[in-house]
Amino acid sequence: MKRLISFILLLSLLVSLCSCDEYVSSFSAVGLVRSNTSHSFETSFLSLEGQLVFKIKKTEKGTEGDINYSVKVDEGELNLYYDIYGTKELLANVKAGESVDSSGGYIEGGKTVYFIIEATEGTRGKVSVELDK
């Protein structure tokens, strides 16, 4: 009986550990600074390569609207994606020396959104996103 209970507890633990978020950050960075609240984030970096993921939520229920974002890249190339319903959508593609300050996408109130930053080797820049503006 003890073995059965131990097995069930172990199985429960494994299931809970394996049920992770859909996206995982996998990056190497120098000078990375991140700041986020429940409905916005901002990050800047001297060098970034790989995938950096943020999970935020449109806190104002009963409202819908655009994603307000700003992306600036001094060197390299950066793609900013968002995912709300299981489909990764491109918000911005920015190359060396370019910047974008815009709004786009569509978010319903109370929904959680994944933002995925994909950067090539040696990318230097800044990204900020706000949902409740």
- Output the pTM of the full model: 0.80
Indicate the domain borders of the chain.
22-130
Whether 130 and 40 have beta carbons less than 8 Å apart is answered as yes
What confidence tier does 21 reach under pLDDT thresholds 50, 70, 90?
Answer: low
Whether 47 and 29 have beta carbons less than 8 Å apart is answered as yes
Pick the CATH number of 22-130 from 3.90.1570.10, 2.60.120.380, 3.10.250.10, 2.40.160.20: 2.60.120.380
Cα(132)–Cα(103) distance, integer angstroms: 12
Give per-residue pLDDT as tens, 48-98.
999 999 999 887 767 788 899 999 999 999 999 999 888 899 999 999 999
Distances (CA, A) of 74 to 56, 87, 102, 110, 124: 26, 29, 18, 34, 5
Cα(8)–Cα(80) distance, integer angstroms: 42
